[in-house]
Amino acid sequence: MTGDREFLRSELLAVAAAVVPGQRPVVTHDPGPINPGVLFDGRGPATVSRVTVQTGNPRSPDPVAEVEAAADALRARGWTADVVPPENGHYRVAAQRDGFDVAVHAWEADWRITFTGETPVVS
């Protein structure tokens, strides 16, 4: 379980660094493994880890280019990545690999790009 979390965290940091070179990506959310079923009945032994990384360049934000670069960087690292059609200035990538899921979000009104991933559920 720890290995999955560390793998996901390192992948998100590496992709974020490739998308916005010259900026240091920051882990903004990593609470560790959680039980996703705990709010339902509290008995489920399954655990999952969710990690969020952010980066960006406030001097030259380009959400379209960043999302395309994120998809390319993920594919180069062995992920299946699809650029989702934009909606109201929101640009996204959905990626999967070996049960891991990643979503990349960028907005026209914000210079940051966010990478959020989830490990496979472990029972």
Span 3-18, pLDDT tens digits: 899 999 999 999 999 9
- Distance of CA 40 to CAs 33, 35, 37, 46, 112, Å? 17, 10, 5, 12, 34
Tokens of residue 66, six digits: 């960043």
The pLDDT, as a whole number, for residue 39 is: 57
The pLDDT, as a whole number, for residue 35 is: 67
Span 83-104, pLDDT tens digits: 999 999 999 999 999 999 999 9
Name the pLDDT band for 78 (thresholds 50, 70, 90): very high
Specify the CATH architecture of the domain 1-118: 2-Layer Sandwich (3.30)
Name the pLDDT band for 33 (thresholds 50, 70, 90): confident
Q: Are residues 97 and 78 in contact, defined by beta-carbon separation less than 8 angstroms?
A: yes
Asked if residue 46 has pLDDT above 90, the reply is no
Asked if residue 45 has pLDDT above 80, the reply is no
